[in-house]
Chains A and B, each alone.
Chain A
Amino acid sequence: MLMIGTGNKAVATAVRDAKPTVVAAYPITPQTEVVEETANYVASGELDARYIPVESEHSSMAACIGAAATGIRTFTATSSHGLVYMCEMLHMSAAARLPIVMANANRALGPGWNIGAEHSDSLSMRDTGWLQAYVSTVQEAYDLTLMAFRIAEDENVLLPVMINLDGFLLTHITQSFETVEPGDFIPEINTPHAIDIDNPGGYGTLTPSNEHFKFRRDIERGMRDSVKVIEDAQNDFAKRFGRKYGMYEEYMTGDADVLVISMGTLAKETEVAVDNLRKEGIKAGSVGIRWFRPFPDLKDVVEGREVVIIDRDYSFGYGGILANEVRSKTGCSPFSVIAGLGGQEVTYDDIAGFVKMRAANEEHWFGVDE
């Protein structure tokens, strides 16, 4: 069905269509509408789920962990301080191999108090073992949230998935989007290690280092195998519903001399910058990173090109997180632009400006550096 609504509404609608059995969530700006709308779907009977209102984000993830351990489908949503507050439970959910799906509205962390879009919240949870996707449109928020359940629950993955959308910029924008009838696109959940009261066992028991080591290695195995599972899910989605997604999104990259790599809504804004740069004779292209964990193989697309990377985040004492991930995986020498922190306005003209001022291996803080 073709609808119009916000990014938050699209996430909640995808949750309705994916039919989780438990939703446990705590409201926080700018994702509160996800919590409200999923609650409405449960209240109206459109989603047959148990809705557990909790007292904190730590508890919302704990409730999802408990529910998922029994082998049922679970969902929660959060943002910023809520996400980092549940940090302990993020590690726990991934290490317990529980396929929980969560939407995160990317928002800056305080102080100083700022609730604008920033990727620092989810990127600081980079090493928890969660898969992470960043979406660029309301349609993609719906589609990826739906796909997240299938990917997380795949027997070769069994890891939680975080769908990230830029706070306000995407959570609050109204755009059209099309819902689907998932049918058997998302198979019945079948968690092999679900609690079985007829066969009692220990969960999270004391584990000697040699076993612990194997468990950790298997998380990495699941993360690596997830690439094929993601690609299969996205290809099947395209076949059934007509919308095609990849690990990353390329725009005008074929003959490009310079690539702009970014995530979230900036990736769409960059496409407009690319169009304008090409009118001026600068052969630019855009790569929007959709899946950040597992990190995509960008070697071929980056090869032989100048690269500008926009980070809406920063690793203090090191640099732009995306820039350094791409640099270490591909060996490129990017012009690293730090822009959009705290919801800072970044226009397509600004992005075109970054391309024009590019200098390999330099770092530029937009609006701060001269």
Chain B
Amino acid sequence: MYEIRLHSRGGQGGVTAAKLLAQAAFLDGKYATATPLYGAERRGAPVVSFIRIDDEPIRIYSQIRKPDLVIILDPSIMHTVDVMQGLKPEGKVLINSPRPVEMGGHRVYNADLTGVALSLDLVIAGNPILNTPLLGAVAKVGLVSRESVRKAISGTFKDERNAQAALKAYEELSL
């Protein structure tokens, strides 16, 4: 089983990103679950989502304690949330950042998701949309296929810039 913990802020699309990621894994023929952890729901508050991907049906409903991958949509969240908690020694980090970031010696993927969203003017109510670019980055890391990401996004969003954003993030991320 591959376990992912996704950190975001309310309104950034983290919960939708988790669902899309599970959907892409499902389209790849895997079993997948996505669970949002709700506290008081409000814009800007830290939000955590959990994604599990496996070849067998998943029977676990509790939270992910030892993730294989931590995704950070908003780096400023690290001031208040211990995003590295429980990350496996060989665990990896995918962070939305234009610059390389050091994260305790772990393998870090830097993806400028905000930059991708802004470059396509993919902005709603002043907030850049980060979930669809994130899906492209996750595909590049190799957790889901690019084709399944495309299908999951086109099945959810009408605006074609979402699929473009995923493709752009895929191409920009250097491994």
Please list the residues of chain A having a beta carbon within 8 angstroms of any beta carbon in chain B.
4, 166, 168-170, 172-176, 265-266, 268-269, 271-272, 345-348
**Residues 31-60 of B contacting A (Cβ, < 8 Å):** 31-36, 38, 58-60
Given contacts A268-B59, A268-B61, 9 further A-B contacts (CB under 8 A): A4-B22, A166-B61, A170-B61, A174-B34, A174-B35, A175-B32, A269-B59, A269-B60, A272-B59
If over half of A's interface residues share one DSSP class (helix, strand or loop), that class is named, otherwise mixed; here it is mixed
What mask results when residues 70 to 108 of chain B are scored 1 for a CB within 8 Å of chain A, else 0?
000000000000000000000000000000000000000
- Contact of B61 (CB < 8 Å), options: A4, A169, A174, A176: A169
Question: How near does chain B come to A61, taking the closest CB pair, in angstroms?
Answer: 27
Question: How near does chain A come to B128, taking the closest CB pair, in angstroms?
Answer: 24
A173: chain B residues within 8 A (beta carbon):
33-35, 61
A268: chain B residues within 8 A (beta carbon):
59-61
Tell me whether B19 and A174 are in contact (CB under 8 A): yes
- Contact of B60 (CB < 8 Å), options: A4, A170, A348: A348
A-B contact pairs, 30 of them (CB 8 A): A4-B23, A168-B36, A168-B38, A169-B61, A172-B35, A172-B36, A172-B38, A173-B33, A173-B34, A173-B35, A174-B18, A174-B19, A174-B22, A174-B23, A174-B34, A174-B35, A176-B26, A176-B31, A176-B32, A266-B61, A268-B59, A268-B61, A269-B61, A269-B62, A271-B59, A272-B59, A272-B60, A346-B62, A347-B62, A348-B60
Which 7 residue pairs spanning A and B have beta carbons closest together? A174-B34, A347-B62, A268-B59, A265-B61, A4-B26, A173-B35, A174-B22
Q: Does B63 contact A (CB under 8 A)?
A: yes
**Residues 109-154 of B contacting A (Cβ, < 8 Å):** none
If over half of B's interface residues share one DSSP class (helix, strand or loop), that class is named, otherwise mixed; here it is mixed
Chain A residue nearest to B51 (CB atoms) is A174
A172: chain B residues within 8 A (beta carbon):
35-36, 38
Question: How near does chain B come to A151, taking the closest CB pair, in angstroms?
Answer: 26
In the assembly, what is the distance between CA of A272 and CA of B61, in Å? 10
In the assembly, what is the distance between CA of A272 and CA of B62, in Å? 11
Chain B residue nearest to A166 (CB atoms) is B61
A174: chain B residues within 8 A (beta carbon):
18-19, 22-23, 32-35
In the assembly, what is the distance between CA of A4 and CA of B21, in Å? 11
B23: chain A residues within 8 A (beta carbon):
4, 174
In the assembly, what is the distance between CA of A169 and CA of B61, in Å? 7
- Contact of B63 (CB < 8 Å), options: A176, A271, A272, A345: A345
Tell me whether B38 and A345 are in contact (CB under 8 A): no
B61: chain A residues within 8 A (beta carbon):
166, 169-170, 173, 265-266, 268-269
Question: How near does chain A come to B148, taking the closest CB pair, in angstroms?
Answer: 11
Question: How near does chain A come to B61, taking the closest CB pair, in angstroms?
Answer: 4
In the assembly, what is the distance between CA of A272 and CA of B23, in Å? 24
In the assembly, what is the distance between CA of A345 and CA of B35, in Å? 13
Chain A residue nearest to B27 (CB atoms) is A4
In the assembly, what is the distance between CA of A265 and CA of B58, in Å? 12
B22: chain A residues within 8 A (beta carbon):
4, 174-175
Chain B residue nearest to A2 (CB atoms) is B26
Chain B residue nearest to A3 (CB atoms) is B26
Question: How near does chain A come to B88, taking the closest CB pair, in angstroms?
Answer: 16
In the assembly, what is the distance between CA of A348 and CA of B60, in Å? 8
B19: chain A residues within 8 A (beta carbon):
174
B34: chain A residues within 8 A (beta carbon):
173-174
In the assembly, what is the distance between CA of A155 and CA of B33, in Å? 39
A265: chain B residues within 8 A (beta carbon):
61
A175: chain B residues within 8 A (beta carbon):
22, 32-33, 58
B62: chain A residues within 8 A (beta carbon):
269, 345-348
Question: How near does chain B come to A141, taking the closest CB pair, in angstroms?
Answer: 13
In the assembly, what is the distance between CA of A266 and CA of B59, in Å? 9
A345: chain B residues within 8 A (beta carbon):
62-63
B38: chain A residues within 8 A (beta carbon):
168, 172
Chain A residue nearest to B58 (CB atoms) is A175
A272: chain B residues within 8 A (beta carbon):
59-60
B33: chain A residues within 8 A (beta carbon):
173-175
In the assembly, what is the distance between CA of A347 and CA of B64, in Å? 10
A347: chain B residues within 8 A (beta carbon):
62-63, 65
B26: chain A residues within 8 A (beta carbon):
4, 176
Question: How near does chain A come to B17, taking the closest CB pair, in angstroms?
Answer: 12
In the assembly, what is the distance between CA of A346 and CA of B26, in Å? 26
In the assembly, what is the distance between CA of A166 and CA of B59, in Å? 14
In the assembly, what is the distance between CA of A272 and CA of B54, in Å? 14
Chain B residue nearest to A168 (CB atoms) is B38
In the assembly, what is the distance between CA of A241 and CA of B32, in Å? 22
B31: chain A residues within 8 A (beta carbon):
176
Question: How near does chain B come to A277, taking the closest CB pair, in angstroms?
Answer: 14
In the assembly, what is the distance between CA of A119 and CA of B12, in Å? 32
In the assembly, what is the distance between CA of A175 and CA of B22, in Å? 8
In the assembly, what is the distance between CA of A4 and CA of B27, in Å? 9
